[in-house]
Amino acid sequence: MSDKDELEALGAAPDKPLSPAARRALEEAAARRAAAEAAATAHEDGGPTGPEPTRYGDWERKGIAVDF
């Protein structure tokens, strides 16, 4: 991939010179977007719906609550 294609993939405007700080900011933003996308797609198959039950100290399954 050429330098121009790489910058366009990061979200830079074509044919616009970028400072090193701007290039670094675009790379960091791309890394944050990739991390957020990876975190959003990770989920548990067959797990409970709603908020994480361990956060509240109990787990409910078929109407029976089990405290940890």
pLDDT digit string (tens) for the chain, length 68 residues: 556 666 556 666 777 788 899 889 989 999 999 988 877 666 677 766 776 666 666 666 677 777 65
Q: What is the pLDDT of residue 29?
A: 93
**Distance (Å, whole) CA 13 – CA 38:** 26
Q: What is the pLDDT of residue 16?
A: 76
In the chain, how many domains are there? 1
Q: What is the pLDDT of residue 27?
A: 92
pTM over 0.75, yes/no: no
**Domain span including residue 34:** 3-67
Residue 13 one-letter amino acid:
A
**Residue 49 DSSP symbol:** S
